[in-house]
Chains A and B, each alone.
Chain A
Amino acid sequence: MRIGLVSGLDWRDGIARLRAAGAELICLPLLSFAPWVAAKRDRAGLEHAERPPSPSLLEAIELADGAWISASAYESEGEGVFYVSSYIAGPDGPVSRYRQAAVVAEPGRYEQMFWSPGHEGNEVAASPLGPTGSLVGSDVRSAPAWEELVSAGARAVVCGVAEDAESWPQTMTAVAGLAALHSVIAVIVNRGGRSNDVEFPGGGAAFDRHGAEIGTGELIEVAPG
């Protein structure tokens, strides 16, 4: 099957283009539909949150035109209650949801100011890639988060991140290692472009059950897990 990875800021164009190119699962990075609000300690960023289910996610599902979507939305359950929700959605709507649990605060990524740690646990969706779980942000480097998904039956893990040029290669290495450790397929997509004065290199890759790279770039052929 073909997996499309949307790194750029224009997610609408990316989804439409990759669907046209035959992608059956389209993966988006961390905070797929919002600017990188965590760049600055400015509460104005809270205004970008959407009520769940994120209307942007629903629009992305429409644009995917029958393909599956993995994306993370900035959501608010009401005043003062914010999360980053990672969805795996089929043509008929969201199939699984979990909320980013490891939330960090460091220069350029003041996530703790903008969203709370998720507390609902993770879910596995029956996607075209097989039993699939998703992880976003710092959760992709969390061994317990991978163990939870694998214990729930995941045979593939799709990861959405927002890493700078320095941490992106390290994160890919970690994901490849965790894929090998748990003998699952892993797909990772990084945020690209400049947002709120932070530059993201973009990019993405897929790894097989041994942690070996299957491919990189926007469109990758992967055998389902």
Chain B
Amino acid sequence: MSRTSEIQGVGSVPHAYYERSEPLTGVVLLPSQERHDPGEHPENVRRLPGVVDRLRDAPEWDRLFVLYPRYARTEDALRVHSEGFVEILESTGADAPLWLDTDTRVSRDSYPNSLLAAGAALAAVDAVAMEAYHRPDSLFALTRPPGHHTGIDKAMGFCLLNNVSIAARYAQATYGIERVAILDWDVHHGNGTQEIHYADPSVLFCSLHEWPLYPGTGWVDETGAGDGTGFNINIPMPTGSGDVEYLEALDRVALPVIEEFRPEILLVSAGQDCHAADPLCGQLVSASGFKAMATRSAELARRLGIGLVVIHEGGYNVSTLPLLDRSIVAGLGGFEVEEPDPFAPLDAEPPGAWDERLESVIATHAPRWEALR
């Protein structure tokens, strides 16, 4: 039961306004997501329906806050992307299907669907940020296409609009939020998100990604530029990293730094392609690992009294994605998941060079962040 304990005023974010005995979480569903149809492609129309079906069949479904999105407006996209780029994306429908790069294929309705995907992230921001009796603590926007590879003026890596960056800028523009933290655990480096916020100290970007891997960026020494120096934290995970390494990266670097940054909203780029059965990576994270990462993110947001928006990025095994996304929802809401992960590694060797990489990240960022000293 919620109770009013502190009134921050309309549009304020602190979640101390409502105290609940149990967290309220939910999902933003993307109707007609199949309109973005790249065909036989890892990022295909079959990724999300299985996720939604699994969630609907789960016992926790009735306890979820379920939202449908609105379309993002062009002005929302233009807060992060160039006008020329948005015009190009808008014009692709006439010539579709076509390739925007060697990985990124669009169909006739891809652009409107990408506006809807970005709108799902915005709807989630609205829901966790605005004053409302049933304000959720966190929401998971089940979006596609993903977005974190798209920079200011270039679509790549299956991504069209950068949903998480659009959400960050929207939160700042709409709710008077000054500081936004973005945590990215997709197996690929979020090079687009990095590019957009690289010189911006109001957005802390922290990425855990397999390295070396596509797109090739994301080494430790990419720390930001100008006033944004120190606000871009890359944790390049060695191939073969699993739950132990990912949670250590969160516990020793990402979460302490985010806490010190004192964001007013936490956004997560959640790519489940670091799972042990994903065909596009070499990592070994299990369903329990995703649940634990979501739990830690939710606990941090709760400690800080802020909203949490999780935005879907990668994850390309259509058979395992339903369990992984359900595990994330379970982590956000404190639910049990009774399904075992048949791909959870039991006997994985620790990846080589992990300790050295972690120490390198800590040494690089310790001068800026007290939490790392």
Residues of A near any B CB (own CB < 8 A):
41, 43, 46, 77-82, 103, 105-107, 110, 112-113, 116-117, 119
Contacts and interface: CB of A to CB of B under 8 A. Distances in A.
Contacts of A41: 276-277, 343, 345
B282 interface: yes
A96 B319 CA distance: 25
Contact of B279 (A46, A107, A117): A46
A105 B277 CA distance: 10
Contact of A113 (B41, B46, B343): B343
Task: Give 9 nearest A-B pairs by CB, closest first.
Answer: A80-B42, A112-B319, A77-B40, A105-B342, A113-B277, A80-B279, A80-B280, A80-B316, A116-B318
Contacts of A116: 46, 317-319
B163 to A, nearest CB: 21
A32 B295 CA distance: 44
Name which of A80, A81, A106 has the most chain B CB atoms within 10 A of its CB.
Answer: A80
Interface of B: 40-42, 44, 46, 276-277, 279-280, 282, 316-320, 342-343, 345
Name which of A105, A107, A119 has the most chain B CB atoms within 10 A of its CB.
Answer: A105
A86 to B, nearest CB: 17
Given A79-B280, A80-B42, A119-B46, 15 more contacts: A41-B277, A77-B40, A78-B41, A79-B42, A80-B279, A105-B319, A106-B342, A107-B342, A112-B277, A112-B319, A116-B46, A116-B317, A117-B46, A117-B318, A117-B319
A105 B345 CA distance: 14
Contacts of B280: 79-80
27 contacts: A41-B277, A41-B343, A43-B279, A46-B279, A77-B40, A78-B41, A78-B42, A80-B42, A80-B279, A80-B316, A81-B40, A81-B279, A82-B279, A103-B319, A105-B320, A105-B343, A106-B342, A107-B342, A110-B277, A110-B342, A112-B277, A112-B342, A113-B279, A116-B46, A116-B318, A117-B46, A117-B319
A45 to B, nearest CB: 11
Contacts of B342: 105-107, 110, 112
A119 to B, nearest CB: 6
Nearest to B281: A43
A112 B317 contact: yes
Given A41-B345, A43-B279, A119-B46, A113 B317 contact: yes
Nearest to A41: B343
Nearest to B319: A112
Contacts of B279: 43, 46, 79-82, 113
B340 to A, nearest CB: 10
A43 B282 contact: yes
A142 to B, nearest CB: 16
B342 to A, nearest CB: 4
A173 to B, nearest CB: 26
A46 B320 CA distance: 16
A176 to B, nearest CB: 29
